[in-house]
Structure 1
Amino acid sequence: MNLRALTRGDAAVAGAAVLLFIASFLPYWTLSCSGAYCANIDTSQNAWSTALFPILPSIYLLGIAAAALILVQRFQGPAAANRQVLGLRLDQWGTAFAVTALWTSIWALGGGSTGPSVSHGFGAWLGFISLIVLAGAAAAGPLVPALKAPLVTDRPAVPYQGGYPVPGQPGQPQPGQYGYPVQGQDPNQAPAYGAQPGGYGYPAPGAPGQAQPGPHDITPAPAAAQAAPAPQPAPAADFAPFWFAVPAPRTLAPKDNPVGAPVGELVPGTWYLAVEQRGTALVAQLQDGTQGLLADTSGIQRG
């Protein structure tokens, strides 16, 4: 169950279902009666009254069932995108039920009164308004961008304090230290990772007691070792980490092997951190700290 997969349209569907349930207990019919003979007459009836059957199942319960089907489909996430019942997905059945309940409610409001003293109560009108919202949100939810936006995001309230180094930030590696690339350095050159001359035990040139290589002491490396792997796209020099969401499920490839087996999957409705840019691709970080290469960055929503 993925709660972050819910959208604003799903929230409108759930709210309309709650109002519809409340409306079922409010008076559907009201009777204007005065005099002593009215003492034994029920002046109002709600949808649960057997005298109003089938108002309850054809309007109220059908609308609540429609909302339940839509929300169940959303809770299941992308894994249920192709699951169908009699040729339709659960959310498609829910949309059809919502429209049917609204159509029945319109006909019920248009007739059925037996005289000028009988009128529809607040429960009938509140149920009608709830079904308008329910059917509208169900039909327009997948189409309107404002309703497709995620309802819950996991964007933190404070700036990200993870391990991605920012040049110049206190406590973070500076250019030239711990392998962090120096401005203008060849991006294909392997970083030194602290192997600076004279620093952290690395021998400085000409240090006493250290043997210096002679002109004939250098052994050529084998041809296989000299063959360098294909260079990866260089990280963008002016890149800053940012949060983003994907419009559809997308897989993450290994950072150093774009054609390798996927290391994770990005799903809509969840915010992920982009920690590096390699050409048009992004290195994304999952909630468990796993990092991978997102090759398809089309249509992503930046936070």
Structure 2
Amino acid sequence: MNIRSLTRGDGVVTGAAVLLFIASFLSFRSYDCGSSINCPKEPIGWKPELFPVLPSIFLAGIVAAALVVVARFQPEGRKVIGLGLEQWGIALAVFAAWSSLWTIFGGPDVDQISPGVGQILALIANLVLAVVAALTPRTPALKAPLMGAPQPAPAPYGAPQGYGYPAPGGMQPGAGPSPYGAQAPQATQPYGAQPGPAQAQPQAGGAPAPQPAAAAQPAPAAGGDFTPFWFAVPVNRPLFAEDGSPNQIAELAPGTWYLAVEQRGQALVAQTQDGRRGLLQDTTGIQRG
């Protein structure tokens, strides 16, 4: 479960569900008894005499919010009776808002009875819940991640470091700068000369000076010429077991950099922040660091 999969819309939906839960314990109806001493006690949403207020307004809205949020942690394409969990949550949220609207305008036709604080807050919470849940998949501002990627601690002299971020200048993992920002020593070339093998310098008497043996070239890395790189996904993508089985071990979320350590055909072996490795089968639209 990756909490970074949650969106801003999910945060609003969760807040509306909390408000709805609080409203269920407040007075659902208000009585204007004047100077009468026999004024009935204002009921809350959990009172049996208000049935079906509890299941159709309060519980329906809370369950709808739970379905929308839980859908973020489920693999893409998983459906229940032909609909995804988010779609079921949106439908239930619209039902709860519709029930709240009819209840507040179609209550008992008595002058002394008016909507209570709990009933008014329930209507507001269910309307916000239904609208945001329906607009989140289609609104970029609501689809944005709720939590940004973690910022690494600054290194000395302001050099960025930390897991999950590509090195400056496109350097690959493991190729960090020299201590205190010093560059590796390089052989100087005469002005305008093309890089190439070192030329023999004449000694006294015209004899060329002996040249050192050429430095040995490092052997190519095993497994081909693949070089690890950082990447980010445009939408939530499931990460399956590295052995190719259909078991999902994690979910990659937008706004976070992950490390690709191996390529298998069109798929990538990716490593998460906590060190888990798995197979990313859908690599379309990924952004390389």
Q: In which range does the TM-score fall when normalised by the shorter chain?
A: 0.5 to 0.7
Conserved? CA contact 1:245–1:301, under 8 Å: no
The residue aligned with 1:174 is 184
4+ residue stretches of structure 1 with deviation over 6 A?
Answer: 231-235, 282-285, 289-295
Q: Unaligned regions of 5+ residues in structure 1, if any?
A: 178-183, 187-203, 213-230, 236-240, 253-260, 276-281
The residue aligned with 2:202 is none
Q: Unaligned regions of 5+ residues in structure 2, if any?
A: 154-159, 164-172, 188-193, 197-208, 215-223, 261-267
**Number of paired residues?**
235
Q: SS at 2:17's partner residue?
A: helix
Question: Structure 1 295/88 Cα, relative in aligned 2: closer, same or farther at 3 Å?
Answer: closer
Conserved? CA contact 1:31–1:44, under 8 Å: yes
**How far 1:124 sits from its partner (Å)?**
0.8
TM-score of the superposed pair, with normalisation by structure 2: 0.65
Q: What letter corresponds to residue 160 of structure 1 in structure 2?
A: Q
Q: Distance in 2 between matches of 1:96 and 1:293?
A: 32
**How far 1:265 sits from its partner (Å)?**
8.3
The residue aligned with 2:6 is 6
Conserved? CA contact 2:17–2:129, under 8 Å: yes
1:128 aligns with 2:138: no
Q: SS at 2:37's partner residue?
A: helix
The residue aligned with 2:69 is 71
Q: Deviations over 1:128-165 (max 9, x none)?
A: 11011111121111111111111123322433157543
TM-score of the superposed pair, with normalisation by structure 1: 0.62
Question: Structure 1 173/16 Cα, relative in aligned 2: closer, same or farther at 3 Å?
Answer: same
Q: Distance in 1 between matches of 2:58 and 2:185?
A: 66
The residue aligned with 2:103 is 108
Conserved? CA contact 1:155–1:243, under 8 Å: no
Q: Distance in 2 between matches of 1:72 and 1:290?
A: 24
Q: Distance in 2 between matches of 1:301 and 1:113?
A: 62
Q: Distance in 1 between matches of 2:16 and 2:288?
A: 28
Structure 1 residue corresponding to 2:138, chosen from 132, 135, 143: 143
Conserved? CA contact 1:5–1:270, under 8 Å: no
The residue aligned with 2:161 is 160
Question: Structure 1 31/148 Cα, relative in aligned 2: closer, same or farther at 3 Å?
Answer: same
The residue aligned with 1:15 is 15
Question: Structure 1 250/51 Cα, relative in aligned 2: closer, same or farther at 3 Å?
Answer: closer
Q: SS at 1:119's partner residue?
A: strand
Conserved? CA contact 2:237–2:252, under 8 Å: yes
Q: CA RMSD in A?
A: 4.4
Q: Distance in 1 between matches of 2:256 and 2:13?
A: 23
**How far 1:112 sits from its partner (Å)?**
1.5
**How far 1:168 sits from its partner (Å)?**
6.7
